[in-house]
Structure 1
Amino acid sequence: MPDRESSVGPRAAVMDRRRLLFGILPAAALLVTGCARSDADERKARPPLALVYNGPQGCTDCAPAVADLLRRAPRPFEVTYVGPGTGKPLTASALAAAQLYVQPGGGADLARTWRDLRDSADVVRDWIRAGGSYLGLCFGGYLAGRDPGFDLLPGDTYGYAGSPGSSVPDDRDTVVKVDWQGKPRHMYFQDGPAFLLDDGADATVLATYESGAAAVVVAPYGKGRVGVSGPHPEADASWYAAEELRNPDGVRFDLAHELIEATTGRR
């Protein structure tokens, strides 16, 4: 008959090893799970990506102004410049990672800029149609229209300066009064578009010029959205100072933030 002490000893050692292993494994599993949760949380906490066109179009301050606005927004974006000269072309793969594409202001020659953009037009339209968001400011508003343009609007654009009933006679930099959803506001303006919408168009007019023409519009495009503004809601204090202009409301960005939220559907 085996010795009782010797028979119990090995079993106890096995039990101790099992306790040790089962004690270590849950801790290790928790550690791995904790790392996974940490990585997921980090990805979730990362701001959505906005692509801002910064190709050659005649305004060195326009893309940086809207990029700064997006980075400092109440719900901020990560920003990457795209377009000729940026090292990142406007392609389907670049858009696939983004929530918002911004075509800023600053251009003077639509045909010239369109030559740089037309090869990307189909991928931009496809991306918006699948759920992306396009924000066009001033020149970018013109480019949301047709001929030349991305043809994203339920209607088209025209130059507000000098148009019938316009308070702006020419293309000089100025401040315009708008009706923003029933409230009088003032915005920086430099030869921006007005928007002529089709009868019964599915679109929200956020603001009108004094003539009643649409100044700021958001419209669906497939599963995505298009937001356009003739005036510059992104204009900071340096823009006003450079042209010796004054905004009676003060230099504020609440209208820009509202337009971004409406365009991206984040409100």
Structure 2
Amino acid sequence: MKKALYLTVFITSLLILISNASAAQLSYNEISNASKIITDQASKTGQIPSQITVNNKNITLDDYLYAASTTTINLNTNKKTNISTNNYKPPTNPPNNTATGKLTKTTYLQVAQNIKKYMETNGRSPSYATTTIGKISYPSLIYTYAKIINFYNTNGRLPNSVTVKGVKIANVPEPDTSFQLSYNEISLASQTITDHITQNGKIPPQITISNKNVTLDDYLYAAAATAVNLNASKKTNIPINNYKPPMDPLTSTEIGTLTKTEYLQVAENIKKYMETNGRSPSYATTTIGKISYPSLIYTYAKIINFYNTNGRLPNYVTVNKVSIASDPDGSTKVVKVLIYSGYDASTNCVNGIKYCLDAIKLNSVTFTYATSTFINSNILASYDVLVMPGGTSGLSYLRNPNISASAIKSFVSNGGGYLGVCAGAYAAAVAVDGYYTSWGLADVRCKAVYYEGELAVSITSAGENILGLSGTQTISHYNGAAMYATGTVTTLATYADNKTGYKGYIAAVADTYGSGRVILCGPHPELSPRIPEMVVQMIAWLAKVT
């Protein structure tokens, strides 16, 4: 009998452990932050995000709905407690339409109880909720309870009523592959390098493959890693990390032959060095002596080309002396640009910035770019300029836990460049009048503007020098800031018409922050009708290369 009792207790304990292992807890603050993210995006775009990231936790809409409905019930008795979620599934057949109108406090509390009970019983979200105004759809339920929690946090009480609105769920964004090179891209880059040497006797300073600008440092890492992988017949994508050039590269190199065993070991050494130091090695020590940085690049390009021709790695490779093509005085500059691409950034705006950087070429300047859904000191350390594009709102950027304000300020103060477009401008000003205080990277305040469409801006004389434009320009605008100076700034462009209600206010402005430079732009030069040269000239000025 005792054995049976012990077994029952053991099994019960095990089931509790298993149940707890599959559950996750959300704190009240995390639920509040998620609610704010949802309402910010819905009020701006009419869509709720497909997933919310708070404190590095990826919260599904279903776990959020359970947490929000339970929190609403708890707030009715002023309880702010952690909520255990259980990886709830999406609804099976959500309707496309929703009832809209007002729910009383009594009704929305009862609906919250119904949602909570349904999800605990069925392990998934309801497709809709039946209420006094009709059937409320799944997305609108999520938005409704997000608004209720926001109201409580602002007013210290639950609202007497809540308005239900129709919203949709935003499409799931494409995965960010900007930090990867495919095997085919690495192969094409290898062929480009060897072809360029055959024709010109030098390595090109940069390779463009599939509209990606690949630096020699990122190529060297990818090529070394690929050589190692090919020894196991693996053709995989290689994550890269915007590696920097070597500190003090050799001007000469040893030449000779490396065996397969040795060039694979050297590849391992290169890979490890770059992962540790964030830059290319100045040389590699081998049995034939020190091999220079350019010769390493050429050597691994030849190895990959051999594999693609013969279906195997070569038994040995000959190291040749080569140099990198550049201006005679070494004036070619590489500007590394990071574009924020998180859930609250507009995909069209991100792609527009990329298009401009690809479309415009400046003498003696090469632009490379990557995107990131996180902004922190470690990521920013590899770049010259940060672009915060148009998005949900400036407030969303300020409240986004994946964006470190202190890291951005430190980056710019230490000499980095910051380009803020639309939401990125609102976030970096001193404040938005009547709404919120911003990061304060530029001495301007913003007027919130509600106008979407094309409008005219007048380029100032200072703008002519920095932007390379003059006169009046037609530009795209989506509720971007109208700014006015609170300190000494450089006005680049002003609103030339009154479509925003702020004719004569600043449309684009330049300023300094510590040792760095800042440009804030209310309109969208990266969107149709594009002004790509404006985008590129702004980034070049921020990087101090013009």
TM-score, normalisation: structure 2: 0.35
Instruction: Tell me, in whole angstroms, the C-alpha distance in 1 between the residues paired with 2:540 and 2:367.
Output: 12
User: Which residue of the other structure, out of 96, 111, 117, is the alignment partner of 2:395?
Assistant: 111
Q: Are 1:260 and 2:539 an aligned pair?
A: yes
Quick check: 2:356–2:533 contact (8 Å CA) kept in 1? no
User: Which residue of the other structure, out of 367, 372, 383, is the alignment partner of 1:77?
Assistant: 367
**Aligned amino acid, residue 353 of structure 2:** V
Q: Secondary structure at the match of 1:71?
A: helix
User: Which residue of the other structure, out of 387, 396, 419, is the alignment partner of 1:102?
Assistant: 387
Instruction: Tell me, in whole angstroms, the C-alpha distance in 2 between the residues paired with 1:119 and 1:257.
Output: 24
Q: Secondary structure at the match of 2:404?
A: helix
Q: Are 1:181 and 2:460 an aligned pair?
A: yes
Q: Secondary structure at the match of 2:425?
A: helix
Instruction: Tell me, in whole angstroms, the C-alpha distance in 1 between the residues paired with 2:519 and 2:394.
Output: 19
Quick check: 1:99–1:132 contact (8 Å CA) kept in 2? yes
Instruction: Tell me, in whole angstroms, the C-alpha distance in 2 between the residues paired with 1:112 and 1:138.
Output: 12
- CA RMSD, Structure 1 to Structure 2 (Å): 2.9
* Higher RCO structure (Cα 8 Å, ≥6 apart): 1
Residues 117/124 of structure 1: CA separation in 2 closer, same or farther (3 Å cut): farther
Instruction: Tell me, in whole angstroms, the C-alpha distance in 1 between the residues paired with 2:515 and 2:532.
Output: 27
Q: Secondary structure at the match of 2:383?
A: coil
Summarize the alignment of residues 84-233 of structure 1 with structure 2, pairs less than 5 Å apart: 89-107=374-392, 109-117=393-401, 120-145=404-429, 146=431, 147-159=436-448, 161=449, 170-171=450-451, 173-181=452-460, 183-199=471-487, 201=488, 203-210=489-496, 211-233=503-525
**Aligned amino acid, residue 404 of structure 2:** S
Quick check: 2:459–2:493 contact (8 Å CA) kept in 1? yes
Q: Which is further off, 61-70 or 136-145?
A: 61-70
**Aligned amino acid, residue 518 of structure 2:** V
- Partner of 1:20 in structure 2? none
**Aligned amino acid, residue 455 of structure 2:** V
Quick check: 1:142–1:158 contact (8 Å CA) kept in 2? no
- Partner of 1:248 in structure 2? none
Instruction: Tell me, in whole angstroms, the C-alpha distance in 2 between the residues paired with 1:94 and 1:52.
Output: 11
Q: CA deviation at 1:54?
A: 0.6
Instruction: Tell me, in whole angstroms, the C-alpha distance in 2 between the residues paired with 1:149 and 1:82.
Output: 21
Residues 112/178 of structure 1: CA separation in 2 closer, same or farther (3 Å cut): closer
Q: Are 1:56 and 2:335 an aligned pair?
A: no
Residues 142/28 of structure 1: CA separation in 2 closer, same or farther (3 Å cut): closer
Instruction: Tell me, in whole angstroms, the C-alpha distance in 1 between the residues paired with 2:540 and 2:293.
Output: 31
Quick check: 1:114–1:149 contact (8 Å CA) kept in 2? yes
Q: Which is further off, 205-214 or 96-105?
A: 205-214
Residues 118/148 of structure 1: CA separation in 2 closer, same or farther (3 Å cut): farther
Q: Secondary structure at the match of 1:61?
A: helix
Q: Secondary structure at the match of 1:150?
A: coil
**Aligned amino acid, residue 110 of structure 1:** G
Q: CA deviation at 1:99?
A: 0.2
Structure 1 unaligned residues grouped into runs of 5+: 1-26, 84-88, 162-169, 238-250
Q: CA deviation at 1:192?
A: 0.5
Deviations 1:169-198, CA, capped at 9 Å, x for gaps: x43x21111111251111111110022112
Quick check: 2:386–2:418 contact (8 Å CA) kept in 1? yes
Q: How many correspondences in the alignment?
A: 210
Instruction: Tell me, in whole angstroms, the C-alpha distance in 2 between the residues paired with 1:46 and 1:56.
Output: 32
Instruction: Tell me, in whole angstroms, the C-alpha distance in 2 between the residues paired with 1:129 and 1:190.
Output: 29
Q: Secondary structure at the match of 2:510?
A: strand
**Aligned amino acid, residue 458 of structure 2:** D
Summarize the alignment of residues 1-20 of structure 1 with structure 2, pairs less than 5 Å apart: none
Quick check: 2:476–2:528 contact (8 Å CA) kept in 1? no
**Aligned amino acid, residue 440 of structure 2:** D
Quick check: 1:128–1:221 contact (8 Å CA) kept in 2? yes
- Partner of 2:104 in structure 1? none
Quick check: 2:346–2:389 contact (8 Å CA) kept in 1? no
Instruction: Tell me, in whole angstroms, the C-alpha distance in 1 between the residues paired with 2:513 and 2:406.
Output: 13
Instruction: Tell me, in whole angstroms, the C-alpha distance in 2 between the residues paired with 1:133 and 1:58.
Output: 19
Quick check: 2:335–2:543 contact (8 Å CA) kept in 1? no
Deviations 1:204-226, CA, capped at 9 Å, x for gaps: 11111122211111111111000
Quick check: 1:204–1:217 contact (8 Å CA) kept in 2? yes
Q: Secondary structure at the match of 1:79?
A: strand
Instruction: Tell me, in whole angstroms, the C-alpha distance in 2 between the residues paired with 1:229 and 1:192.
Output: 8
Deviations 1:11-48, CA, capped at 9 Å, x for gaps: xxxxxxxxxxxxxxxx9747867724556948997843
Moved over 4 A (4+): 27-34, 37-46
Q: Secondary structure at the match of 1:105?
A: coil
Residues 28/91 of structure 1: CA separation in 2 closer, same or farther (3 Å cut): closer
Q: Secondary structure at the match of 2:442?
A: coil
**Aligned amino acid, residue 219 of structure 1:** D
Instruction: Tell me, in whole angstroms, the C-alpha distance in 2 between the residues paired with 1:205 and 1:192.
Output: 16
Q: CA deviation at 1:129?
A: 0.2
Q: Secondary structure at the match of 1:126?
A: helix
